[in-house]
């Protein structure tokens, strides 16, 4: 039978394999001659399966399947998406025996090469937004292998892969390819359940950043043997693999392993790891303890020289304002016995023994109940800054928290979160980050404080500064997602891990104590 190619929408019945399907023409093809694409990028079940099945059963196929045929093959394969629809059609035919499922309207595409088919399926699924990150990553590297074979190359670099994919109409950056490589070749053997459940790119990148930072800390404080860290990391990943993956659990387990191996304080490990994750240099020198007679000025000099002091304003400010210096997480200490208690160290007695992190939290928990603890503004401001910094650093906001000496609540926020995060994070992560920013802003009285007290601390190019200077609330709301306050519990309080939740509670309690003491004593918070 000759196909009518004069009308692109014409339908032809093709009873025999010897018939030619015209490119661009819609034809009826026996479903027995149609096969799914065996390299379909989707590995997990289509979440829309039931909806698509109901639609086909009630209304028929809403659009033709796009098919092609490999050279020398007897059957046709799906060319661009449609594997789920074909499976449903075959299932319905088997279940009902209805003839309407036996002939399938198809649009034929001439065969070019295997990588084109793979990319066609990848593009189609991308348009529908229906692929998990790991499925997409596996498809990209399957395409890499196909391209290498087709081009006669032993391997294709990530840069070359980016260029080849762009030529084929699939745009993806080399940076994204690198993230995908980490997911496929590093994480997939370790946490397959977490990835299959839908772990997204931001989570993958967070794990990668954690591995890099923890590896650096391990080699500096535990062992120079890279194999030892790799064993610890892979073991812990496999231990915590599951549909409810929690990167914070992995971090805490790594911290515990490093504490036990290095025999150092948990504070040291956490502060150093925070600094490594934030890209800040933090030096804890290994020098002999100072004599008892050493002056406070000498101690400050040692701290500055250990940090590579260049006489900048930050070092001078820290020296002249002990309420900041005593509580900074990046303070330099000369000996383990002198390591500060990073939760309200300024209110401890000199002869008290070092506390574990758990001890700190238990002490603060007790203070919540008994209403005991520091009663001076200096100590409480230091505590507020420390808690705010801990919360911020663990949630990607560490660079925004600025200490505030001698006034206010001990800290301010420099700016709103990077607007690019709105494009990079999923809704759950973005909402949690935004809610946390507003909680920190509330504890710093950011939109209540006198402008003359806040503006000098904020960078000139800060969006927050412009919004406060111009009293432009819309500018602020456009750049930081402001959710319904009634969602705070669901969006923030509940998702926070136990450590962050307790830090937030202690921060709010510290705020209340500062305000109460100021009211009782007549002190001016912003004076």
Mind spelling out the 3-state secondary structure of 35-82?
ECCCCCCCCCCCCCHHHHHHHHHHHCCCCCEEEECCCCCCCEEECCCC
Q: What is the Cα 420 distance to its own chain's centre?
A: 13
> Are residues 44 and 95 both part of a single domain?
yes
- CA–CA distance, 271 with 327 (Å, rounded to integer): 12
* Region of poorest pLDDT, from 250-259, 348-357, 391-400: 348-357
Least confident of 363-377, 390-404, 501-515: 363-377
- Contact (Cβ atoms closer than 8 angstroms) between residue 79 and residue 67: yes
Same-domain check for residues 69 and 144? no
Q: Are strands 401-403 and 411-413 parallel, antiparallel or unpaired?
A: antiparallel
Contacts of 418 (CB under 8 A, 6+ apart): none
6-15 mean pLDDT: 38
Does residue 297 carry a pLDDT above 50? no
Query: What residues contact 244, with CB distance under 8 A and at least 6 apart?
Result: none
In a domain, 171, yes or no: yes
Rounded mean pLDDT of the chain? 77
How many other β-carbons are positioned within 10 Å of the β-carbon of residue 185? 11
Instruction: Tell me what pLDDT residue 161 has.
Output: 92
- What integer pLDDT is reported at residue 131 of this predicted model? 78
Residue 148 lies in a domain: yes
Residue 37 lies in a domain: yes
What is the span of the domain harbouring residue 163? 132-188
- Confidence tier at 303 by pLDDT (50, 70, 90): very low
Q: Are residues 510 and 426 in the same domain?
A: yes
Q: Compute the radius of gyration of the chain from its Cα atoms.
A: 30
Q: Which of 19-33, 331-345, 352-366, 497-511 has the highest mean pLDDT?
A: 497-511
Together in a domain, 382 and 498: yes
Are 83 and 136 part of one and the same domain? no
Residue at a domain's end among 158, 188, 218: 188
With 70 as the cut, is the pLDDT of residue 4 above it? no
With bands split at pLDDT 50, 70 and 90, how would you rate the model's confidence at 112?
A: confident
Higher pLDDT, 355 or 127: 127
Main-chain phi, psi angles of 495, to 5 degrees = -70, -25
pLDDT score for 23: 56
Do 170 and 215 share a structural domain? Answer: no
| pLDDT recorded at residue 343 | 39
- Mean local confidence (pLDDT), 24-42: 84
Tell me the mean pLDDT in the region 465-489.
Answer: 86
Do 84 and 227 share a structural domain? no
Residue 68 sits at φ, ψ, to 5 deg, of -150, 180
> Residue 75 is part of a domain; what is its CATH number?
3.90.1530.10
Q: For residue 517, tell me if it sits in a domain.
A: yes
Same domain, 452 and 512: yes
Whether residue 408 contacts residue 453, with contact meaning beta carbons closer than 8 Å, is answered with yes
Is 338 within a domain? no
Cβ neighbors of 486 (< 8 A, separation 6 or more) are none
> What pLDDT does residue 140 have?
92
Local structure of residue 491 (DSSP, 8 states): I
- The residues, any chain, with a CB within 8 Å of residue 470's CB and separated by 6 or more, are none
Q: Is the pLDDT of residue 170 over 80?
A: yes
Give SS3 for 419: coil
Within a domain: 288: no
DSSP reduced 3-state for 251: helix
| pTM, 2 dp | 0.49
84, 113, 142 — which closes off a domain? 113
Same structural domain for residues 146 and 98? no
Same domain, 446 and 490: yes
The verdict on 257 and 397 lying in the same domain is no
Beta carbons of 438 and 395 less than 8 angstroms apart: no
Domains of the chain: total: 4
Residue 75 exposed, middle or buried by CB count within 10 Å (0-12, 13-18, 19+): middle
Lowest mean pLDDT among 134-143, 147-156, 329-338, 401-410: 329-338
**Position of tokens 């900048």?**
312
DSSP secondary structure string for all residues of 344-360 = TGGGS-TTSPP--HHHH
Query: 323 lies in a domain?
Result: no
Query: Is 292 part of a structural domain of the chain?
Result: no
Tell me the percentage of the chain whose pLDDT exceeds 90. 28
Query: Has residue 208 got a pLDDT over 90?
Result: yes
**Boundary (domain end) residue, out of 159, 188, 217:** 188
With 0-12 / 13-18 / 19 or more C-beta atoms within 10 angstroms meaning exposed / middle / buried, residue 277 is: buried
Least trusted range by pLDDT, from 228-242, 346-360, 483-497: 346-360
| 361 & 443 share domain | yes
User: How many other CB atoms are found less than 10 A from the CB of residue 125?
Assistant: 21
Q: How many residues does the chain have?
A: 527
DSSP 8-state symbol, 99: G
């Amino acid at each position: 039978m000759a196909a009518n190619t004069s009308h692109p929408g014409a339908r032809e019945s093709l009873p025999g394999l010897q018939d030619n399907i015209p490119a661009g023409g819609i034809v009826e093809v026996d479903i027995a001659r149609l096969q799914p694409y065996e390299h379909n990028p989707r590995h997990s079940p289509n979440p829309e399966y039931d909806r698509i099945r109901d639609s086909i059963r009630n209304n028929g196929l809403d659009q033709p399947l796009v098919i092609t045929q490999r050279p020398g093959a007897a059957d046709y394969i799906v060319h661009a998406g449609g594997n789920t629809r074909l499976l449903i059609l075959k299932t319905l035919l088997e279940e009902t025996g209805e003839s309407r499922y036996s002939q399938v309207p198809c649009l034929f595409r001439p065969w070019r090469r295997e990588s084109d088919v793979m990319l066609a399926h990848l593009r189609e699924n991308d348009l529908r937004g229906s692929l998990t990150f790991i499925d997409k990553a596996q498809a990209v590297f399957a395409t890499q292998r196909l391209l290498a074979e087709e081009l006669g190359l032993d391997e294709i670099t990530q840069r070359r892969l980016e260029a080849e994919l762009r030529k084929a109409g699939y745009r993806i950056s080399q940076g994204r390819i690198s993230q995908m490589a980490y997911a496929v070749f590093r994480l997939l053997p370790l946490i397959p359940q977490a990835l299959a459940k839908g772990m997204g790119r931001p989570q993958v990148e967070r794990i990668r950043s954690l591995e890099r930072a923890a590896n650096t800390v391990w080699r500096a404080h535990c062992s120079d043997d890279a194999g030892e860290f790799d064993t610890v990391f892979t073991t812990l990943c496999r231990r915590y693999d599951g549909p409810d993956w929690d990167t914070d659990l992995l971090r805490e387990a790594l911290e515990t392993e490093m504490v036990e191996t290095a025999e150092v304080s948990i504070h040291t490990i956490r502060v150093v790891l925070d600094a490594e994750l934030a890209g800040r240099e933090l030096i804890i020198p290994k020098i002999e303890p100072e004599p008892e007679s050493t002056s406070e000025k000498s101690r400050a000099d040692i701290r500055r020289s250990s940090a590579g002091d260049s006489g900048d304003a930050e070092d001078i400010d820290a020296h002249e304002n002990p309420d900041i210096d005593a509580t900074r997480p990046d303070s330099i200490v000369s000996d383990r016995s002198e390591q500060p208690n990073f939760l309200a160290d300024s209110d401890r007695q000199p002869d008290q023994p070092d506390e574990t992190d758990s001890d700190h939290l238990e002490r603060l928990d007790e203070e919540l109940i008994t209403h005991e603890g520091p009663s001076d503004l200096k100590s409480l401001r230091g505590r507020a800054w420390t808690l705010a910094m801990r919360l911020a650093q663990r949630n990607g906001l560490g660079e925004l928290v600025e200490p505030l000496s001698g006034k206010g609540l001990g800290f301010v926020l420099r700016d709103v979160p990077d607007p690019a995060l709105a494009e990079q994070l999923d809704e759950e992560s973005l909402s949690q980050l935004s809610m946390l920013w507003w909680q920190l802003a509330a504890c710093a009285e950011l939109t209540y404080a006198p402008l003359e007290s806040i503006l000098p601390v904020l960078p000139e190019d800060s969006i927050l500064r412009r919004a406060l200077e111009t009293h432009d609330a819309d500018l602020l709301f456009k750049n930081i997602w402001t959710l319904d306050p009634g969602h705070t519990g669901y969006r923030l309080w509940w998702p926070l891990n136990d450590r962050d939740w307790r830090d937030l509670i202690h921060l709010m309690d510290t705020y209340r104590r500062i305000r109460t003491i100021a009211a009782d004593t007549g002190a001016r918070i912003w004076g």
